[in-house]
């Protein structure tokens, strides 16, 4: 995890490039910095590996103040990929990928193994490619090498400054896909600079939109799309994308917060009564404010048990408030249930969603869209 607390950057010529930046880059997430040219994206990124030193404020990496760390050691713990790729033209692909492991004095066999694994990871045949020089690779292949070179020493953090922007649209999309797949496997904390909103929406867990050295809005792609904070954000995202985003009502907007539930120590009879009175087929179970599972009418009728706790099912998949309608429908269908429970981050029940809720939300949405047109 990386934290920036009240960080300012004033360059030597007196220009204040960053003003009071407060950010958190979570572990295992892709964090995308985006904004107009000159807004301070690259500066923010370079603060992290101390290619640029901040003027005041604090930057913590895994809780440690980077100002107190040796910049060279710090950099060896972070992967770094830049737009111009910066492969070393006089070294083979093998030596390029092995750069940081060699700086860290890994032994030969470990380096060999790493280079092979990484080349395979991006679908470049090791035997063919490792002896080549960068000039003997296509632009897309070179950038793949740029990315795996940053991964070689297994850093927890990877910094990428417009890594794909010099590529043609097809290679760019391919590499974006590869990156998201790769991330599912390697689970790094990635800080990624781009000026391409589609790229940001596609790969980001968190988008940080900047302007003139300040953070204007940060949040998930969905948050930015559905709740743009001001006109600048709206303009930057663009009306077309905003309208498209409206096709995705969230579980949060459709869930039933006024739900009926039971608790572990309730008697079977009372639970059955609730089901019958409310014309339901299943109930979520609460234990000590936390979600504990659910019971169906079948479970309750079957046994001769005393309390709900004996018949709880715990294998139901649940939703988050930020999930999309499609996810809710998928779970309903998959589990052959009539409703799915929505849980908060604290594992408390936020509400329940059934087919009726979804169809109402969709109907509302389409009516609204038609009103707009």
Give the interface with another protein as residue ranges (CB under 8 A): 49, 51, 72-76, 80-90, 99-100, 103, 133, 146, 149, 159
Handedness of CA 165, 168, 174, 178 (dihedral sign): negative
Of the pair 15, 107, the CB lying nearest ligand ATP is at 15
- Residue 33 tokens read as 């910095």
CA 183 to chain centre: 9
- Answer with the entry of another protein, Mg ion, ligand ATP, none that 13 interacts with (C-beta below 5 to 8 A by kind): ligand ATP
Q: Is 262 in the site for Mg ion (CB under 5 A)?
A: no
If DSSP codes are grouped into helix, strand and coil, which group holds residue 265?
coil
Stretch that binds ligand ATP, among 39-47, 86-94, 312-320, 327-335 (CB under 6 A): 39-47
Stretch that binds Mg ion, among 34-42, 141-149, 280-288, 354-362 (CB under 5 A): 34-42
Stretch that binds ligand ATP, among 34-42, 107-115, 164-172, 298-306 (CB under 6 A): 34-42
Beta carbons within 8 Å of 43's beta carbon, 6+ residues apart: 9, 17, 18, 52
Q: Is 13 in the site for ligand ATP (CB under 6 A)?
A: yes
> Nearest distance from residue 33's CB to Mg ion, in Å?
9
Of the pair 47, 118, the CB lying nearest Mg ion is at 47
Of the pair 44, 282, the CB lying nearest Mg ion is at 44
> Nearest distance from residue 57's CB to another protein, in Å?
21
DSSP-derived secondary structure for 122-188: TT--HHHHTTS-GGGS-HHHHHHHHHHHHHTT--SEEEEESTTTTS-HHHHHHHHHHHHHHHHHH--
Q: How many residues bind ligand ATP (CB under 6 A)?
A: 12
> Nearest distance from residue 38's CB to ligand ATP, in Å?
4
Interface of this chain with ligand ATP, residues 180 to 209, rule: CB under 6 A: 195
- Give the side-chain half-sphere CA count within 13 A for 248: 17
Of the pair 46, 218, the CB lying nearest another protein is at 46
Beta carbons within 8 Å of 52's beta carbon, 6+ residues apart: 9, 43, 46
> Nearest distance from residue 82's CB to another protein, in Å?
6
Q: How far apart are CA 112 and CA 25, in angstroms?
A: 32
Q: Is 11 in the site for ligand ATP (CB under 6 A)?
A: yes
- Answer with the entry of ligand ATP, Mg ion, another protein, none that 258 interacts with (C-beta below 5 to 8 A by kind): none
- Residue 16: in which H helix or E strand, if any? strand 16-25
- Answer with the entry of another protein, Mg ion, ligand ATP, none that 32 interacts with (C-beta below 5 to 8 A by kind): none
> Nearest distance from residue 367's CB to another protein, in Å?
52
Beta carbons within 8 Å of 318's beta carbon, 6+ residues apart: 291, 340, 341, 342, 343
Q: Is 296 in the site for Mg ion (CB under 5 A)?
A: no
Integer angstrom CA distances of residue 241 from 39, 206, 209, 233? 22, 17, 15, 12
Identify the residue whose tokens are 């913590």. 60
- Residue 57: in which H helix or E strand, if any? strand 56-61
> Nearest distance from residue 197's CB to Mg ion, in Å?
16
Q: Is 43 in the site for ligand ATP (CB under 6 A)?
A: yes
- Residue 93 tokens read as 């692909």
> Nearest distance from residue 165's CB to Mg ion, in Å?
10
DSSP-derived secondary structure for 239-262: HHHHHHHTT--BHHHH-BSS---E
* 260 CB neighbour count, 10 Å cutoff: 14
> Nearest distance from residue 351's CB to Mg ion, in Å?
43
Interface of this chain with Mg ion, residues 36 to 75, rule: CB under 5 A: 42
Interface of this chain with ligand ATP, residues 291 to 350, rule: CB under 6 A: none
DSSP assigned state of 304:
-
Residues in the chain: 373
Q: Is 160 in the site for ligand ATP (CB under 6 A)?
A: no
Of the pair 74, 297, the CB lying nearest another protein is at 74
Task: Give the footprint of Mg ion on this chain (CB under 5 A).
Answer: 42
Task: Give the footprint of ligand ATP on this chain (CB under 6 A).
Answer: 11, 13, 15, 17, 37-43, 195
């Amino acid at each position: 995890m990386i934290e920036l607390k009240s960080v300012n950057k004033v360059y030597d010529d007196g220009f204040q490039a960053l003003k009071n930046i407060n950010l958190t880059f979570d572990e295992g997430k892709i964090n995308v910095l985006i904004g107009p040219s000159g807004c301070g994206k690259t500066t923010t990124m370079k603060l992290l590996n101390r290619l640029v030193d901040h003027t005041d404020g604090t930057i913590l990496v895994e809780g440690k103040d980077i100002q107190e760390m040796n910049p060279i050691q710090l950099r060896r713990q972070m992967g770094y990929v830049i737009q111009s790729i910066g492969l070393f033209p006089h070294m083979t692909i093998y030596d390029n990928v092995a750069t940081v492991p060699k700086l860290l004095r890994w032994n030969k066999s470990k380096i060999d193994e790493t280079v092979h694994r990484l080349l395979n990871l991006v679908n470049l045949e090791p035997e063919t490619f490792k002896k080549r020089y960068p000039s003997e690779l296509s632009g897309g292949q070179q950038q793949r090498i740029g990315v795996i070179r940053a991964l070689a020493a297994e850093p927890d953090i990877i910094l990428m400054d417009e890594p794909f922007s010099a590529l043609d649209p097809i290679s760019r999309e391919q590499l974006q896909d590869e990156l998201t797949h790769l991330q599912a496997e390697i689970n790094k904390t990635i800080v990624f600079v781009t000026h391409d909103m589609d790229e940001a929406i596609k790969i980001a867990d968190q988008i940080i939109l900047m302007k003139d050295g300040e953070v204007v809005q940060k949040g998930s792609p969905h948050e930015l799309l559905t709740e743009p904070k001001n006109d600048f954000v709206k303009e930057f995202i663009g009306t077309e994308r905003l309208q498209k985003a409206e096709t995705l009502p969230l579980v949060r907007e459709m869930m039933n917060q006024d739900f009926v539930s039971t608790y572990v120590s309730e008697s079977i009879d009372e639970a059955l009564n609730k089901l019958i009175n409310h014309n339901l087929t299943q109930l979520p179970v609460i234990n000590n404010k936390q979600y504990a599972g659910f019971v169906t009418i079948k479970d309750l009728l079957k046994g001769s048990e005393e309390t709900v706790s004996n018949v709880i099912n715990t294998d139901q998949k649940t939703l988050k408030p930020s999930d999309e309608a499609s996810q809710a429908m998928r779970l309903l269908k998959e589990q052959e249930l009539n409703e799915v429970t929505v849980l908060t981050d604290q594992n408390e029940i936020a509400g329940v969603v059934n087919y009726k809720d979804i169809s109402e939300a969709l109907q509302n949405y389409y009516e609204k869209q038609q009103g707009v047109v």
